[in-house]
Amino acid sequence: MRALPQKENDMTFVVYSRERGKMYINATGIKKQGAKHKMNMQPFAVVNIDVVRGQTGWRLIGSGSVETWDRKANILLQRLWGRVFRLVVDLTPIEQAEEGLYELLLEMFHEDIWTVDDKNFPYLEAKITARLLDILGWWTGEHSVDEMAKDKETVRDFIKVVNQGLETAYS
């Protein structure tokens, strides 16, 4: 979900796994030319990874790309993924899998999100954000997520409240 540069050739990846939830994975030498995991560990990819617990955290020892997305193909898609990943990174505890969250991320990767355009961007963002908040136990809406996402005015209000909450949290 996020790559954090470390030393000259090292990176720490924030990933979300089905079994452990959000994890920080250290990858030494990943930036070197010819590094064997470099191509698999790309943003917006579903990847099988092998990790071991080292002295300072999890360490990447193997990877195999399952599916990738060309992030240059659609800037709106990139923006939507970025917003959702930011919420997942910021709102989920470390190494605690939330039931249904991994499946939501996979579903996003395969379905709704591919049809994003200027017209349906707010709807998709609201629907995915509300489902994420529901999975995390933070959804307190009067209506179901799907009902909320049908009304344009409610969607605008919902996104406004989420953005204000994020601004407050980061200021």
Answering whether pTM is above 0.85, one says no
Residues 37-63 pLDDT 10s: 887 787 777 888 999 998 889 999 998
Angle at 121 between CA 104 and CA 89, to 5 degrees: 45
Residues 79-128 pLDDT 10s: 777 888 888 888 888 999 988 899 888 887 766 556 677 777 777 777 78
The predicted pLDDT at position 69 comes to: 62
What does the domain layout of the chain look like in residue ranges? 2-68, 75-170
Least confident of 25-29, 89-93, 127-131, 161-165: 161-165
Per CATH, the architecture of 2-68 is what?
Beta Barrel (2.40)
Residue 19 near residue 10, CB atoms below 8 Å: no
